[in-house]
């Protein structure tokens, strides 16, 4: 839930900065790109540190090298967060992040099905988690493929 809230609040904050005079973010699409970047940087931070073991446990048993997979996806989230902000790589980053969201969704299903905790809190039930995933996917696609309006 924290990444969802962070993305939403960041979107409003960057848009407010645009209204306040920062011309670059005086555009919903640019503000959305920043919000998506913030969300992925927050989710990437969980890949190392105290929540790492919980993320490793979320990887379905059929996927080998769970710890390595968690590390790689964290690095890809950081790369995507940076690349979505660079106009020349925005569409590429958006496509990669969208594919990664789809590829990682089975881990969320597994966590919900097996009631695996994340940071001591119960896994988000599959219904709300699916809705959040759809919002994340839509945000990533819009951020990468809609042209700036400014």
Do the domain assignments include residue 21? no
pTM of the predicted model over 0.85:
yes
Residue 81 lies in a domain: yes
Written as one string, the DSSP assignment of 80-95 is HHHHTTSGGGHHHHHH
Considering its fold, how many domains does the chain have in total?
1
In a domain, 34, yes or no: no
Is 9 a domain residue?
no
According to DSSP, residue 145 is labeled H
pLDDT at position 119:
86
**CA angle centred on 66, ends 61 and 70, rounded to 5°:** 135
Q: Which long-range contacts (CB under 8 A, 24 or more apart) does 68-71 make?
A: 71/47
Is 101 domain-assigned?
Answer: yes
- Asked if residue 67 is part of any domain, the answer here is yes
**Which residue in the block uniquely carries the two structure tokens 């446990």?**
57
- Written as six digits, the tokens of 86 are 């660079």
Per the domain annotation, does 33 fall within a domain?
A: no
> Is residue 125 included in any domain, yes or no?
yes
Give the C-alpha separation, 96 to 87, whole Å: 15
CB 72 within 8 A of CB 42: no
pLDDT tens, N- to C-terminus, the chain (150 residues)? 899 999 999 999 999 999 999 999 999 999 999 999 999 999 999 999 899 999 999 999 999 999 999 999 999 999 999 999 999 999 999 999 999 999 999 999 999 999 999 888 888 899 999 999 999 999 999 999 999 986
DSSP state of 46: T
Range of the domain at 69: 39-145
Can you tell me which residue has the tokens 């005079």?
21
């Amino acid at each position: 839930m924290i990444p969802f809230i962070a993305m939403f609040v960041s979107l409003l904050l960057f848009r407010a900065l645009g209204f306040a005079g920062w011309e670059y973010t005086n555009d919903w699409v640019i503000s959305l790109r920043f919000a998506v970047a913030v969300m992925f940087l927050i989710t990437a931070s969980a890949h190392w540190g105290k929540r790492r073991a919980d993320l490793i446990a979320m990887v379905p048993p059929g996927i080998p090298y769970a710890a390595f997979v968690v590390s790689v996806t964290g690095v890809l989230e950081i790369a995507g967060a940076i690349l979505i902000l660079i106009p020349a790589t925005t569409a590429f980053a958006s496509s990669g992040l969208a594919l990664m969201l789809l590829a990682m969704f089975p881990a969320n299903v597994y966590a919900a099905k097996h009631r695996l905790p994340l940071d001591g809190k119960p896994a988000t039930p599959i219904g709300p988690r699916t809705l959040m995933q759809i919002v994340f996917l839509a945000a990533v696609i819009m951020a990468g493929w809609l042209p700036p309006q400014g």
